[in-house]
């Protein structure tokens, strides 16, 4: 159990709580289990290039409340890492780095993409334990992921502030919130912030439905509306085109046709990137109300983690250290209600936790007469 050497890295987008998780894992691993810990810099790129620093009690001190990650991060994939202008499969090289540093385990902190990379390394013979991080709350197999609670607070505060200017100027204000595939962040902050319309990827919208909600408010003497829009929200027409594109990829009978189908989908997705501005113009034309757009962007990822994320990150880090000490591998530390469990990466990687359209949050939004665009 003691004297194990463990590597740790953070990958994917940064999120509040990463440093708290590094600290939670590191202090437990070092203090309780006598492990040696090295941190690889800038995600899987640093792992592939063997760029690392020694971590000890001193270097882990004072980082609990600090946003971002002291190790740096990147979105590199282990099997498609861009080096010197070309993509290379670095899985084998990473295995050599693992052996050269005499590691007994590798701990990865990240979201769904990181989980897929972790699984590839597990299949290559590395002992891997994964801790779930994402502001989107879209990691399959766990109730909670650190980063979400802080982003939820930030987005909610933004909606709170936008209410006053929307009311003062009799405007429609659209606030774009992160979430390409899953709408947890937009739905949660929309409910907490009292948004009048909430648009998420799981429920395609029509302009007519949104306009109906806003016109209903106008008749009630409320000449303003706040619309919370997920990055990945889509109207019914785009949703239908996306389904066709996905089906073409699925039905492709050769690598060439599959690549063509994927490129076609990529162009479709690119054409959708400005959809919030398009929606603003459509709503202004339909309602006659001046319409403005606010994009929260990366502000949702930054800053000091809230207490809930600090507790969750520390908790998952400590459980992760115990898992490594026990020899666990190929698992993610997941939460279930108030408990934790080790979930196989095989069951996690490649899946997305979408918002069920009959989820209690959705029902609550409908119950307080929030328009969902459908």
In a domain, 344, yes or no: no
What would the mean pLDDT of 326-348 be, rounded to a whole number? 95
Structural domain total, the chain: 2
Provide φ and ψ at 210, rounded to 5°.
-65, -45
In contact, 323 and 342? CB cutoff 8 Å:
yes
Q: Are residues 123 and 48 in the same domain?
A: yes
On whether residue 33 sits in a domain, the answer given is yes
Residue 347 in any domain: the answer is no
Spell 213-244 as b/e; 16+ CB within 10 A means b: bbeebeeeeebbbbbbbbbbbbbeebbeebee
**Cα separation of 80 and 78, whole Å?**
6
Residue 346 lies in a domain: no
Residue 334 has pLDDT above 70, yes or no: yes
Q: Are residues 92 and 175 in the same domain?
A: no
- Tell me, yes or no, whether 100 and 237 share the same domain: no
Its sign, for the CA torsion 152, 156, 157, 159, is positive
The yes-or-no answer on residue 136 being catalytic is: yes
- My answer on whether 271 and 319 are in the same domain is no
* Buried residues in 87-102 as b, exposed as e (16+ CB within 10 A): eeebbebbeebbeebe
Return the closest-CA partner of residue 5 out of 46, 61, 52, 71: 52
Convert the pLDDT of each residue in 72-117 to its tens digit.
Answer: 999 999 999 888 888 999 999 999 999 999 999 999 999 999 999 9
Closest among 225, 224, 242 to 233, alpha carbons compared = 242
Domain match, 116 and 21 both: yes
Instruction: Say yes or no to pLDDT of 1 above 80.
Output: no
Whether residue 321 is contained in a domain is answered as yes
Question: What average pLDDT does this structure show over 331-358?
Answer: 95
Residues 184 and 37 in one domain: no
Average pLDDT over residues 327-342: 94
Domain extent, residue 56, equals 5-146+305-336
The one catalytic residue in 76, 136, 138, 309 is: 136
Q: What is the CATH number of the domain that holds 286?
A: 3.40.50.460
In whole angstroms, what is the distance from residue 353 CA to residue 268 CA? 23
Q: Predicted confidence band at 2 (pLDDT cuts at 50, 70, 90)?
A: low
Residue matched to tokens 């006053």: 164
| Lowest mean pLDDT across 83-87, 123-127, 326-330 | 83-87
């Amino acid at each position: 159990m003691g004297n194990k050497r463990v590597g740790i890295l953070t990958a994917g987008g940064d999120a509040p709580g990463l440093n708290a998780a590094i600290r939670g894992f590191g202090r437990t691993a070092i203090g309780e289990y006598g492990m040696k810990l090295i941190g690889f810099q800038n995600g899987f790129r640093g792992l592939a290039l063997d760029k690392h620093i020694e971590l000890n009690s001193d270097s882990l001190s004072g980082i609990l409340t600090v946003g971002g990650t002291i190790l740096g991060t990147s979105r590199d994939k282990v099997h498609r890492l861009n080096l010197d202008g070309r993509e290379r499969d670095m899985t084998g090289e990473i295995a050599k780095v693992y052996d050269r540093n005499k590691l007994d385990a590798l701990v990865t902190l990240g979201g769904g993409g990181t989980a897929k990379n972790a699984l590839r390394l597990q299949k290559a013979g590395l002992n891997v334990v994964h801790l779930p991080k994402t502001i989107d709350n879209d990691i399959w197999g766990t109730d909670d992921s650190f980063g979400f609670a802080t982003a939820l607070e930030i987005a909610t505060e933004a909606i709170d502030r936008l209410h006053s200017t929307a009311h003062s100027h009799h405007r429609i204000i659209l606030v774009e919130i992160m979430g390409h595939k899953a709408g947890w962040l937009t739905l949660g902050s929309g409910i907490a912030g009292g948004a009048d319309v909430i648009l998420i990827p799981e429920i395609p919208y029509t302009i007519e439905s949104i306009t109906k909600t806003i016109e209903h408010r106008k008749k009630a003497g409320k000449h303003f509306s706040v619309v919370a829009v997920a990055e990945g929200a889509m109207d019914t027409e785009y949703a239908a085109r996306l389904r066709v594109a996905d089906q073409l990829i699925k039905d492709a009978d050769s690598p060439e046709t599959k690549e063509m189908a994927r490129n076609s989908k990529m162009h479709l997705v690119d054409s959708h990137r400005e959809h919030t501005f398009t929606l603003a113009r459509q709503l202004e034309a339909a309602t006659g109300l001046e319409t403005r757009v606010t994009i929260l962007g990366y502000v949702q990822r930054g800053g000091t983690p809230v207490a809930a994320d600090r507790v969750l990150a520390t908790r998952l880090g400590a459980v992760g250290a115990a898992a490594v000490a026990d020899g666990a591998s190929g698992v993610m530390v997941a939460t279930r209600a108030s408990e934790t469990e080790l979930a196989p990466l095989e069951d996690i990687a490649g899946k997305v936790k979408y918002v069920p359209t009959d989820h209690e949050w959705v029902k609550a939004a409908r119950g307080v007469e929030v328009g969902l665009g459908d």
